[in-house]
């Protein structure tokens, strides 16, 4: 995976592995089935036809042995005419597929043994060499019937040869072979039958093993394609000419490509990857390097498939920002767990320090230097408390209690509360509600914290020139259907430059000397927990726009 599973891997997602069929369900001609296939019968028909043509040439007047009497020659031709008719009729039976396959094999073997025995008699007995055709017929019967009845065919052939020898000895007019030769010929028939039976069993076992290996390879291919198709890591396999041989969905998404045909040149849809690949071939980096493709930074790793360029290469692609974010989440999860366990040990002495500084500040005749030191104590105590509170919020971000709320009504209530809390005039925080959306499922506490963080950032950074910060909250529809709302928090400040905007949602990133740098990160984490997509846009000519896209 990655199942192959066709490299349309999705088609095998449900059942990547198929089990082998038991013997009881095998089709005719497969190992273990008692009847030959129609194809095998066609080969038997062709074999008999070739033998017939050879015998006609052997008994032709120009090639006939002078020792053969005219009576035996006439007998041979009568047998050949009969045999030709039978062979041609067997071809018609094969075309009509009647009688059954097993019956056709039985008739062909018995008729061939009888016909070849008569021809052997006409040619001078066992010494003529025609008896070898009987051995070939026995072997053919043993193979076609899958080893079954092999000894019966051999017994019938040996009996026919022995009968021919006795008849020649009693009524023949020429010197015939001895009984020893006939007996050896019969023994050869049995040996051929047994060897054919053993050979067939070996062939059948090899065929069955090959069939199992084929199923295993097909299943493994499907499984590999299935795994590759569902990997979050982008996979590209290219040959020595830098033509694409394999890709997965993640690679297409990372390269921002809709579809690529296998065999396409890599340079046609991603020249950046080709340039990076040639650089890595010359100076390989074992851990991979970062390259920019469009607006994305991708961490790519190269694995050569051989020592030569023609062997091709395997390229792994990962979103570098996603990797950074995963590492940060791991660190923050550990930090949140640690802070949650020792929060009371931090907050208890911190509360004591804060309380003591307040009592100390109430004293009379306190020198100005001491008051300055008390201010330092209070500010840093507040920073510690804010840091602990922020990290605790991270550890509790998955504890959500969604309810159905009216977004328009909720925004009005939030704006009134925020103005009162921060003592803002109505023109400092304005609303724009353009439609009445359907209720949304969200945790009100999380939504309040998200919007509060964004509005508080706007109060800090939203001033421009000598003008005080002004905040505008807009409720807009998403798309033409307007089935989901969008909340926009806008300010008229200087905005955020493009380089800084890429990092504003990273934890502990801040442009202030004070602060934890967790506000926007927590806002995004809480938004994603509630199925909300938080984005930033720079306004023109200045200002910032934070947007909450409700997706569920």
Question: Residue 257 in contact with residue 269, Cβ under 8 Å?
Answer: yes
Question: Residue 521 in contact with residue 387, Cβ under 8 Å?
Answer: no
SS3 content of the chain, % helix, strand, coil (to 5): 55, 15, 30
Backbone angles phi and psi of 156, in degrees to 5? -65, -40
State the DSSP string of 332-389: HHHHHHHHHHHHHHHHHHHHHHHHHHHHHHT-TT--HHHHHHHHHHHHHHHHHHHHHH
Give the homologous superfamily in CATH for domain 232-320.
PAS domain (3.30.450.20)
Question: Residue 29 in contact with residue 39, Cβ under 8 Å?
Answer: yes
d(CA 132, CA 192): 11
d(CA 361, CA 368): 11
Question: Residue 428 in contact with residue 471, Cβ under 8 Å?
Answer: yes
Question: Residue 534 in contact with residue 523, Cβ under 8 Å?
Answer: yes
**Which residues touch 19 (CB under 8 Å, ≥6 apart)?**
none
Looking at the domain that runs over 403-550, which CATH code has it been given?
3.30.565.10
Model confidence, pTM:
0.44
Question: Residue 90 in contact with residue 48, Cβ under 8 Å?
Answer: yes
pLDDT of residue 471 exceeding 70, the answer is yes
Return the closest-CA partner of residue 460 out of 469, 472, 452, 451: 469
User: Which tokens sit at 36?
Assistant: 């030959």
Do you find a cis peptide bond into 106, omega within 30 degrees of 0? no
Q: Where are the alpha helices (DSSP H) in 31-173?
A: 38-58, 70-96, 101-123, 131-144, 150-171
Return the closest-CA partner of residue 515 out of 344, 329, 380, 348: 380
Weakest-pLDDT range from 132-136, 189-193, 244-248, 307-311: 307-311
d(CA 515, CA 504): 13
Return the closest-CA partner of residue 374 out of 355, 348, 393: 355
pLDDT at 342: 66
Weakest-pLDDT range from 61-65, 225-229, 520-524: 61-65
Do you find a cis peptide bond into 468, omega within 30 degrees of 0? no
d(CA 37, CA 100): 11
Q: pLDDT, tens digit, for every residue of 148-182? A: 688 899 999 999 999 988 888 887 655 555 788 88
Backbone angles phi and psi of 140, in degrees to 5? -60, -45
Backbone angles phi and psi of 430, in degrees to 5? -115, 160
d(CA 80, CA 55): 8
Question: Residue 462 in contact with residue 493, Cβ under 8 Å?
Answer: yes
Return the closest-CA partner of residue 524 out of 512, 506, 537, 539: 506
pLDDT of residue 12 exceeding 80, the answer is no
pLDDT of residue 277 exceeding 80, the answer is yes
CA dihedral (414, 420, 425, 431) in degrees, to 10, reads 10
User: Which tokens sit at 152?
Assistant: 């019966």
pLDDT of residue 4 exceeding 50, the answer is no
pLDDT over 70 percentage in the chain:
84
d(CA 387, CA 163): 109
d(CA 264, CA 468): 57
* Residue 19 burial (C-beta neighbours within 10 Å; 0-12, 13-18, 19+): exposed
Return the closest-CA partner of residue 527 out of 551, 498, 492, 495: 551
Weakest-pLDDT range from 37-46, 327-336, 526-535: 327-336
Task: Collapse the DSSP code of 244 into the 3-class scheme (helix H, G, I; strand E, B; otherwise coil) and give the result.
Answer: strand
**All structural domains of the chain with their residue ranges:** 38-208, 232-320, 324-395, 403-550
pLDDT of residue 39 exceeding 80, the answer is yes
Question: Which has the higher per-residue pLDDT, 254 or 472?
Answer: 472
Across 471-499, average pLDDT: 83
pLDDT at 9: 42
C-alpha 322, offset from chain centre: 22
Task: Collapse the DSSP code of 35 into the 3-class scheme (helix H, G, I; strand E, B; otherwise coil) and give the result.
Answer: coil
Looking at the domain that runs over 324-395, which CATH code has it been given?
1.10.287
User: Which tokens sit at 101?
Assistant: 């396959």
Identify the bridge partners of residue 384 per DSSP, sorted by sequence position: none
Other beta carbons less than 10 A from residue 471's beta carbon: 24
Q: How confident is the model at residue 77 (pLDDT cuts 50, 70, 90)?
A: very high
Task: Collapse the DSSP code of 196 into the 3-class scheme (helix H, G, I; strand E, B; otherwise coil) and give the result.
Answer: helix
C-alpha 319, offset from chain centre: 20
State the DSSP string of 400-459: ---EEE-HHHHHHHHHHHHHHHHT--GGGEEEEE---PPPEEE-HHHHHHHHHHHHHHHH
């Amino acid at each position: 995976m990655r199942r192959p599973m066709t490299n349309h891997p999705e088609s095998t997602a449900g059942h990547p592995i198929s089990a082998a069929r038991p013997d009881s369900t095998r089709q005719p001609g497969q190992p273990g089935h008692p009847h030959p296939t129609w194809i095998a019968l066609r080969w038997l028909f062709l074999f008999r036809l070739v033998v017939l043509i050879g015998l006609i040439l052997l008994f032709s007047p120009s090639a006939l042995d002078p020792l053969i009497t005219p009576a035996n020659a006439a007998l041979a031709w009568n047998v050949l005419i009969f045999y030709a008719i039978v062979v041609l009729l067997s071809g018609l039976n094969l075309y009509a597929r009647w009688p059954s396959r097993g019956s056709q094999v039985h008739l062909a073997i018995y008729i061939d043994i009888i016909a070849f025995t008569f021809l052997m008699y006409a040619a001078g007995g066992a010494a003529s060499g025609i008896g070898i055709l009987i051995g070939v017929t026995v072997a053919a019967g043993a193979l076609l019937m899958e080893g079954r009845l092999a000894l019966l065919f051999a017994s019938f052939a040996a009996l026919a040869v022995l009968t021919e020898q006795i008849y020649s000895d009693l009524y023949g007019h020429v010197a015939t072979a001895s009984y020893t030769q006939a007996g050896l010929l019969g023994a050869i028939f049995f040996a051929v039958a047994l060897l054919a039976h053993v050979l067939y069993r070996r062939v059948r076992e090899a065929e069955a093993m090959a069939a199992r290996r084929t199923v295993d390879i097909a299943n493994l291919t499907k499984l590999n394609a299935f795994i590759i198709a569902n990997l979050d890591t982008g996979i590209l396999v290219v040959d020595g000419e830098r033509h694409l041989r394999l890709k997965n969905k993640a690679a297409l998404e990372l390269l921002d490509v809709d579809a690529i045909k296998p065999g396409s040149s890599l340079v046609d849809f991603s020249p950046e990857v080709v340039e990076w690949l040639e650089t890595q071939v010359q100076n390989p980096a074992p851990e991979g390097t970062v390259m920019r493709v469009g607006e994305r930074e991708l961490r790519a790793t190269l694995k050569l498939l051989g020592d030569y360029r023609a062997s091709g290469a395997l390229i792994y692609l990962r979103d570098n920002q996603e990797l950074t974010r995963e590492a940060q989440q791991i660190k923050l999860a550990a930090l949140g767990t640690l802070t949650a366990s020792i929060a009371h040990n931090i907050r208890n002495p911190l509360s004591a320090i804060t309380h003591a500084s307040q009592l100390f500040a109430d004293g009379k005749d306190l020198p100005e230097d001491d008051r300055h030191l008390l201010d330092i104590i209070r500010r840093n105590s507040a920073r510690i408390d804010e840091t602990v509170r922020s990290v605790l919020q991270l550890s509790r971000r998955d504890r959500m209690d969604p309810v159905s709320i009216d977004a328009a009504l909720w925004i009005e209530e939030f704006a009134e509360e925020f103005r009162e809390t921060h003592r803002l005039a109505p023109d400092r925080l304005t609303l724009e509600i353009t439609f009445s959306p359907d209720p949304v499922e969200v945790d009100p506490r999380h939504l309040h914290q998200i919007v509060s963080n964004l509005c508080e950032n706007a109060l800090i950074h939203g001033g421009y020139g000598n003008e005080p910060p002004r905040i505008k909250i807009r409720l807009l529809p998403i798309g033409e259907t307007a089935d989901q709302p969008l909340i926009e928090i806008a300010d008229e400040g200087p905005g955020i430059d493009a380089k800084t905007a890429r990092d504003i949602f990273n934890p502990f990133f801040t442009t202030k000397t004070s602060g934890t740098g967790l506000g926007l990160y927590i806002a995004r984490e809480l938004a994603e927990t509630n199925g909300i997509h938080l984005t930033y846009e720079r306004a023109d000519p200045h200002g910032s726009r934070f947007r909450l896209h409700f997706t569920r």
